[in-house]
Chain A
Amino acid sequence: MQDHSVVIQELDFRYGSSPALKNINLEIPAHGVTAFIGPSGCGKSTLLRCINRMNDEIAIAKITRGSIHINGIDIHDRSVDVVKLRRDVGMVFQKSNPFPRSIYENVAYGIRLRGEKNKAVIDQSVQEALEAAALWDEAKDRLDESALGLSGGQQQRLCIARTLAVKPQIVLMDEPCSALDPIATAKVEDLIFQLKSDYTFVIVTHSMQQAARVSDKTAFFYMGELIEFGDTARIFSNPTVKKTEEYITGRFG
């Protein structure tokens, strides 16, 4: 088992009585980018939210079978602290959701959650996170201004910086570019490319071009099932399952 990798075994998941994921088996390698693709409602976001247990917040959501191991630890084990898990497994959401506070406060939020009180340390961490998210140059002179004054792409990069500031090992991204224009998208993709040696990225995307551009591995989901998983280059050039080929060639979805 590789370091920091996510191993999903025989996972079944339900929203109330309707099954959302069926028998998912997947190994996500460390230090790389894994893309989840598939049509809307195929369960890819649900699976993503399972990895840091964000589905715990949804009352009717329930894992009925199987397990998810991160670094060999079953994350649904009772001894696992979900708060600590989420510090290791960060998440960037589809809709950029900066807090209506200053840019600095947004990034410092997660650092303060760790109990960090030393202003110098927080300042340092904020700068590092903003640099990592390639936002420092644009934001360094306006750290005290509201984050809502940033453009959409900057807001999303701020959300990424905020997530990185917590120093996670795995970063989950739920369609991070769906609301961004091509230039902002390119910046975010650049960012993922720069950071992928330090973090494990799992990215849900609707854009097959994006999956092809940024990811090392691609998983194709359909109707709550994992249809095909493999190296991105192979999936896009030589899919073995007919459904995958139909999807990536745009015949449905």
Chain B
Amino acid sequence: MVSSFCWGCLTRLPPAPRAILPPTLTAQRVASFHSSAALLAPPAKKQNKPVGGKFRQGNSARMKKKKPVERTRPPAVGERKALRKRIILSNPNALEIPGMKEVSEETMVDARLRGSILGLPVPMLDQLRAVQAFKPKQGWSIFRRPGTVVRRETLELGRLIDGISGEGEDKGKVVKKIVTGDRSTGKTVHLLQAMSMAFTKKWVVVTVPEPQDLVTASTAYAPLSDENPNVYVQPEASAALLSRTVAANKQVLSGLTVSREHAGLLKSAVKAGTTLEDLAKMGIQDPAAAWNTFQALWTELNATSPAPGFEKNFKPRPPMLVTVDGIAHWMKESKYNNVDVKPIHAHDLVFVQHFLSLLKPGPSQSSLPNGGVLLYATSASNSPTVYALDVVLKQLAARQAGVSPSSPEFPQPDPYLNADKRVLATIDTSKPVAPKEGIPEIQTLGGLSREEARGFMEYFARSGLLRENITDAWVGEKWSLAGGGVVGELERLGRRLRVTAA
């Protein structure tokens, strides 16, 4: 075969004239720099184009039919809410902190642990979930395990709870506190810490995690009885309260037995050996009897001695922790209507009445005869404006600061602002009859101190969330940015993902 190279001049021979090539190949234009054999590609198919116009078809504009859009089914009823209210307590991607201590009888009073993070014991998590101690947006889901920072107020509370359940002079004391503070200063977490300590000490914990739900007319209500037509009972809410209490305090309640007869309950159901757990479960199963059951349970828990005939198996009752998170909703008219279609005041709901009456000194004995702590928190983000409550809180603060109620500096309600008298009477600071009962105090939570803030930020760093050198200067800067160590703001600063340019 003849090579296409001309060996004489080392150039390619001129190609054959194009006309010789088959027409199908010449139809394709190929760039000269292509190395691939484009000429070998199959020839493009001829497209069928109609000759001339579309004479045989209609020319009018045709409306296109809309295709039915495939819509996914909306999530089932309650699914969205469940997702919104879901509480995640663990993040497997976060680092585990070696040597992290847990809440226990020793650590809750250990002043050396101030500023460190105490983990919540895993078995206690179910109890805390049962009393709804966790709220959805508290950032539990970014750490390996839930833990809370030990601050000054926490240590005070730990010592208090330790003293009440101990054998010292504080035994059986009743402490009533109203926890206030700015937004995200840790009021709810303070309640959580109290609960965790109470569970550690085997107290009975009764909580109202969402007071708002009782006044928004979202649960059923009915007049309490024919004698009290103006007081209303909420059976479902009462049953829910019982179920929370039973689920969280199962261990304690199953060890206690009934100590007397109860008027509102069936005699056949409540016998001498019935445990308090069984008693409470009756109310859960039958919401109509829930309120009476709760009252029976409350009487039992506050019993100091058995009635005659019930002496067998009587055990002294443990102290109680009662927490309410967001009392401002209970200080105004509810969304419920009475028969005259007038709004019912929240204080006319027997549930609310019961918990608010605890703030007043008991008539003959202490409001919690076996001792305990009442922690009623306000909310800064979800709270209606109640002028009377503001006045009450100011009065409490003034009294605590040593201002005498008769002095002109003592805050008084403005007579032209129509402060709600029932609210003003809520908190009674008169001298209690029982010697161990305290008068309501106000506890204002502020920011963390710098040392506490440093411990808190180190927790973020050790969990692998924060890649910074935690120095005093850095912490001081964040402390200022967080408005003086407001813990929720510190958390926001700590969890903020930072991408450095370098």
Q: Do A and B come from one complex?
A: no
